[in-house]
């Protein structure tokens, strides 16, 4: 599609309107063509006043003016025009601030009207309406697009601009290889773009949307796959001897999801194409164990493995876990963070360089210039969202062609995973290991907290621990601190003699670490924390999570926080304390939390409640501004697009075949899309 011609060419679009359109992302005629209506106004059939219902109070019909009258309003007189439609039903047209209509709407004149009516004391009235002289002008017999608007833009301006752009840029060329139209039952793009704006039936609008959504998803997958290559072909692999040794030493069986994920990863590691896989599963779903198994697999083949965690504390925890679980397999494990210095650092670096260390666990210190490996084959990245692209690339440079496993404890719906992680394969641990007791969740009204304090007190008397979490309110943290400090002294009075600590973003790292250590060692019974402080450690005896102002947290955050308890076989509790005047959305969120502990279900609800942009967070939301496709409803299209993109890339990664020329051109033009796709990973 010609892309240079400005939207200001269109009739009725001056500088002011153009600025408003820019806010909607439209600067050219081509942008206008790719701007999707948010709904349609079906005016194919005349709807007289009598046909309006509660569900659909709209009318579109001819009327004849019967009489004029005034009725007093606060701002002065208002014109009231009484008219009748062709059925003879009377309608009062209230012309607020439009007294001038009296001239035009002369007695006996005929008009076409469109709008929504209401019935007040048996009388039909309308106050927001369109009046036109002819059927055509009012759109009768047609389906009209309804666009999102901004500022002073009107639907009419948008419709005119869309019609103009479609006319001027015709004929619109195909955007996909010839064969795909037939094979996938897609509309030609010239028809699809016309039909998305001016469909002749609702079914046609639906087919146009499917075509354009597919194209958008397909091009996105294609641009990523072209950079990253397709996922490895399946290979048959068997567990290595150390893997089997670890498996037989475990006091439990792996869940089916763990077994499947372990196999998927093993197959990737044994393939000739470097792995790029996401392993997602809730906290406690057993990701780390799967990661260790795969690490052993690679080590048995003679490679080195790096395991990276976002904080020193987490890295330490993983190192301890690895030493315990993997020590007996005889592999050599090392631990590196920024605070490993001097002679011990020198020795450590030496062992990585000469290959005497098989598995290194650490923080971003692993990226440091001075770290190099003899044969880094595999990198495991825990909580992958906490690392940036550069960091990951730095690590990959240390092991060219090394496979990557990104782990995420933020479950996201499959549609979102496939889109956000185009170019990744995805493994999911959905079921939790047996024996976990789901956390019991209570909604507690702000002014009704006595029972809650009592229950938490009972837990203290059993030697259990608790978290009290406050939301972060402003970036400066001043008022957060005041709130959380106030709560802290309140709780000290509520629980006299029970040891506790306040932990917040203003504390030095050293101090935070000490508090968390003391909590782990049970020198403290509860922590009062701002949400900034991610209590990312595993405390088996912590059985209570109290979240204040729970209505201010998103579902993902609530779920993560709740995941901090219920880490053992002890029954545990989550109290969501909420204030008055809950919004509908907040109510919906809290009731989801009460109903389920399944992180994937929660994520799906979250997607429904908030939409994809918010879910993915700022970092990724730009990428998710899909024009046509929907991440809530188009899972089948997403899978189809991904499959087709993989097929094309597998057969013709350079897009050199004649039939793929159209794709090569589109990707070259849409460099923007590619750049965006790159940024998010
Ligand atoms: P994640 O990394 O997903 O948060 P972990 O791998 O740390 O989860 O597992 C949490 C705990 O559950 C660990 O103590 C681990 O040993 C244990 N675990 C892992 N898999 C199983 C299983 N299949 N059955 C029982 N316990 C398991
Ligand atoms: Mg973990």
Domain assignment present for residue 408? The answer is yes
For residue 368, the 8-state DSSP code is: S
The residue among 198, 189, 96 whose CA lies nearest residue 142 is 198
Check whether residue 371 and residue 511 sit in a common domain. no
Check whether residue 425 and residue 494 sit in a common domain. no
Strands 58-73, 142-146: pairing is: unpaired
Domain assignment present for residue 152? The answer is no
d(CA 578, CA 325): 42
User: Last residue of some domain: 572, 596, 620?
Assistant: 596
Radius of gyration of the chain (CA): 31
Alpha carbon 310 to its chain centroid, in Å, reads 21
What Å distances lie between residue 176 and 189, 195, 222, 230, 469, CA to CA? Answer: 9, 18, 12, 20, 52
* Three-class secondary structure of residue 209 per DSSP: helix
Check whether residue 484 and residue 550 sit in a common domain. yes
User: Last residue of some domain: 408, 429, 450?
Assistant: 429
d(CA 112, CA 80): 17
Give 261 Cα–ligand 2 centroid separation in angstroms.
Answer: 15
Domain assignment present for residue 533? The answer is yes
Ligand 1 within 6 A of CB of 247: no
Give 434 Cα–ligand 1 centroid separation in angstroms.
Answer: 10
The residue among 12, 43, 60 whose CA lies nearest residue 162 is 12
Check whether residue 469 and residue 359 sit in a common domain. no
User: Last residue of some domain: 110, 140, 170?
Assistant: 140
Closest ligand 1 atom, residue 281 Cα: 3
Low-confidence ranges of the chain (pLDDT < 70): 1-3, 230-234, 385-389, 473-482, 532-537, 611-625, 632, 670-681
pLDDT at 442: 96
Alpha carbon 384 to its chain centroid, in Å, reads 15
Check whether residue 296 and residue 420 sit in a common domain. yes
Give 601 Cα–ligand 2 centroid separation in angstroms.
Answer: 20
Check whether residue 584 and residue 532 sit in a common domain. yes
Domain assignment present for residue 227? The answer is no
Report the run of H or E that residue 129 belongs to, with start and end.
Answer: strand 123-132
Ligand 1 within 6 A of CB of 286: yes
Which protein residue has the closest C-alpha to ligand 1 atom 20? 286
Report the run of H or E that residue 477 belongs to, with start and end.
Answer: none
Ligand index nearest the alpha carbon of residue 320: 1
pLDDT at 428: 92
Check whether residue 424 and residue 492 sit in a common domain. no
Ligand 1 within 6 A of CB of 410: no
Check whether residue 360 and residue 478 sit in a common domain. no
Ligand 1 within 6 A of CB of 557: no
For residue 445, the 8-state DSSP code is: E
Which protein residue has the closest C-alpha to ligand 1 atom 5? 286
CATH (domain of 304): 3.40.50.300
Mutate to test the pocket of ligand 1, among 284, 286, 536 (most ligand atoms within 8 A of CB): 286
Check whether residue 454 and residue 548 sit in a common domain. yes
pLDDT at 533: 54
pLDDT at 2: 60
Give 382 Cα–ligand 1 centroid separation in angstroms.
Answer: 14
CA angle 189, 229, 379 (to 5 degrees): 140
Beta strand extents in 365-464 (DSSP E only): 376-381, 403-408, 425-429, 440-445
Pure H helices in 34-105: 101-104
Closest ligand 1 atom, residue 382 Cα: 2
Ligand index nearest the alpha carbon of residue 259: 1
Closest ligand 1 atom, residue 255 Cα: 23
Closest ligand 1 atom, residue 282 Cα: 3
Give 318 Cα–ligand 1 centroid separation in angstroms.
Answer: 12
Domain assignment present for residue 607? The answer is no
The answer to whether 425 and 418 have CB atoms below 8 angstroms apart is no
Structural domain that includes position 544 = 440-596
For residue 385, the 8-state DSSP code is: G
Check whether residue 584 and residue 542 sit in a common domain. yes
* Three-class secondary structure of residue 69 per DSSP: strand
Domain assignment present for residue 26? The answer is no
The answer to whether 106 and 121 have CB atoms below 8 angstroms apart is no
Give 382 Cα–ligand 2 centroid separation in angstroms.
Answer: 7
d(CA 524, CA 630): 47
The residue among 158, 85, 157 whose CA lies nearest residue 126 is 85
Q: Record the pTM.
A: 0.68
Number of domains in the chain: 3
Give 421 Cα–ligand 2 centroid separation in angstroms.
Answer: 20
The answer to whether 80 and 99 have CB atoms below 8 angstroms apart is no
Mutate to test the pocket of ligand 1, among 258, 278, 284 (most ligand atoms within 8 A of CB): 284
Domain assignment present for residue 261? The answer is no
Closest ligand 1 atom, residue 288 Cα: 6
Ligand 1 within 6 A of CB of 283: yes
CATH (domain of 122): 2.40.50.140
Ligand 1 within 6 A of CB of 285: yes
Domain assignment present for residue 520? The answer is yes
**Bridge partners for 429 per DSSP:** 281
The residue among 409, 430, 665, 664 whose CA lies nearest residue 562 is 409
Check whether residue 492 and residue 583 sit in a common domain. yes
Give 432 Cα–ligand 1 centroid separation in angstroms.
Answer: 8
Check whether residue 355 and residue 495 sit in a common domain. no
């Amino acid at each position: 599609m010609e892309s240079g011609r400005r939207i200001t060419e269109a009739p009725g679009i001056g500088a002011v309107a153009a600025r408003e359109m820019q806010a909607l992302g439209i600067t050219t005629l081509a942008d206008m063509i790719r701007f999707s209506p948010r709904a349609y106004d079906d005016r194919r059939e005349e709807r007289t006043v009598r046909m309006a219902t509660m569900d659909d109070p709209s009318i579109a019909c001819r009327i004849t003016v019967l009489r004029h009258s005034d009725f007093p309003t606060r701002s002065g007189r208002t014109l009231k025009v009484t008219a009748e439609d062709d059925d003879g039903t009377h309608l009062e047209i209230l012309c607020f601030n439009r007294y001038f209509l009296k001239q035009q709407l002369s007695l006996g004149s005929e008009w076409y009207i469109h709008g929504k009516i209401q019935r007040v004391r048996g009388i039909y009235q309308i106050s927001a309406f369109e009046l036109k002289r002819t059927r055509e002008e009012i759109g009768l017999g047609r389906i009209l697009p309804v666009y999102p608007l901004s500022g002073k833009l009107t639907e009419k301006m948008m419709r005119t601009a869309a019609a103009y752009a479609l006319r001027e840029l015709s004929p619109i060329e195909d955007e996909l290889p010839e064969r795909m139209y037939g094979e996938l039952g897609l509309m030609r793009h010239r028809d699809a773009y016309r039909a998305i704006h001016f469909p002749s039936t609702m079914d046609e609008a639906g087919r146009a949307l499917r075509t354009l959504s597919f194209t958008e998803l397909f091009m996105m997958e294609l641009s990523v796959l072209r950079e990253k290559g397709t996922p490895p072909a399946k290979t048959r692999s068997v567990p290595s001897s150390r893997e089997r040794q670890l498996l037989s030493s475990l006091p439990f069986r792996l869940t089916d999801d763990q077994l499947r994920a372990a196999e998927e990863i093993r197959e990737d590691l044994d393939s000739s194409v470097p792995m790029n896989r996401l392993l997602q599963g809730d906290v406690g779903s057993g990701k780390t164990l799967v990661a260790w198994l795969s690490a052993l697999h690679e080590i048995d083949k003679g490679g080195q493995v790096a395991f990276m965690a976002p904080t020193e504390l987490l890295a330490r925890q993983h190192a301890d876990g690895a030493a315990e679980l993997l020590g007996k397999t005889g592999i050599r494990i090392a631990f590196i963070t920024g605070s490993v210095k001097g002679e011990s650092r020198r020795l450590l670096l030496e062992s990585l360089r000469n290959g005497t260390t098989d598995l290194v666990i650490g923080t971003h210190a692993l990226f440091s210039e001075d770290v190099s490996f003899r044969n880094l084959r595999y990198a495991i990245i825990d909580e992958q969202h906490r690392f940036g692209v550069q960091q990951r690339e730095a690590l990959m440079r240390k092991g060219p062609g090394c496979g990557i496993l990104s782990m995420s404890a933020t479950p996201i719906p499959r549609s979102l995973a496939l889109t956000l992680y185009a170019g990744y394969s995805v493994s999911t641990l959905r079921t939790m290991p047996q024996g976990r007791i789901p956390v019991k969740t209570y909604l507690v009204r702000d002014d009704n907290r006595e029972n809650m304090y009592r229950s938490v007190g009972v837990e203290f008397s059993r030697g259990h621990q608790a978290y009290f979490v406050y939301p972060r309110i402003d970036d400066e943290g001043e008022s957060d601190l005041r709130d959380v400090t106030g709560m802290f002294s309140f709780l000290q009075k509520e629980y006299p003699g029970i040891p506790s600590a306040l932990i917040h973003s203003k504390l030095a790292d050293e101090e935070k670490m000490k508090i968390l250590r003391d909590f782990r060692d049970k020198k403290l019974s509860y922590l009062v924390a701002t949400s900034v402080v991610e209590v990312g450690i595993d405390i088996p005896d912590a059985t209570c999570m109290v979240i204040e102002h729970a209505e201010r947290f998103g579902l993902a955050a609530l779920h993560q926080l709740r995941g901090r308890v219920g880490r053992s076989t002890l029954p545990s509790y989550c109290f969501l304390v909420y204030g008055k005047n809950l919004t509908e959305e907040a109510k919906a969120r809290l009731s989801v939390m009460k109903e389920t502990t399944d992180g994937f279900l929660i994520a799906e609800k979250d997607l429904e409640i908030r939409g994809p942009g918010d879910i993915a967070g700022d970092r990724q939301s730009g990428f998710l501004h899909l024009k046509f496709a929907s991440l809530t409803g188009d899972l089948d299209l997403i899978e189809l697009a991904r499959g087709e993109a993989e097929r094309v890339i597998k057969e013709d990664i350079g897009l050199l075949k004649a039939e793929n020329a159209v794709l090569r051109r589109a990707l070259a033009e849409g460099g923007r899309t590619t750049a965006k796709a790159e940024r998010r990973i």
